[in-house]
Amino acid sequence: MFRALSNNFHQWRAYRSSVNKLSRLSMRELDDVGFSQANTGSIGRAYFG
């Protein structure tokens, strides 16, 4: 049980880190890689789970 909780916590932290990094990019930078500000959360969820 502790291992599952620990894994979930680490996944959540990695997700939050990714979303935070994406949210710091400008609209131009996001557009350059094919993303928009509206879908940064869904990108993180798609990658992490």
CA distances from 7 to 3, 19, 40, 44, 48 (A): 6, 18, 22, 16, 12
Q: Considering the domain boundaries, does residue 1 fall inside one?
A: no
Structure token digits, residue 41: 């959360």
| Residue 44, domain extent | 12-48
Q: Considering the domain boundaries, does residue 39 fall inside one?
A: yes
SS3 category, 32: helix
Average pLDDT, the chain: 86
Q: Considering the domain boundaries, does residue 3 fall inside one?
A: no
Q: Considering the domain boundaries, does residue 37 fall inside one?
A: yes
Q: How many domains does the chain have?
A: 1
- pTM across the whole model: 0.69
pLDDT in tens, 7-46: 999 989 988 898 888 889 999 998 998 888 888 778 777 7
Amino acid at 6: S
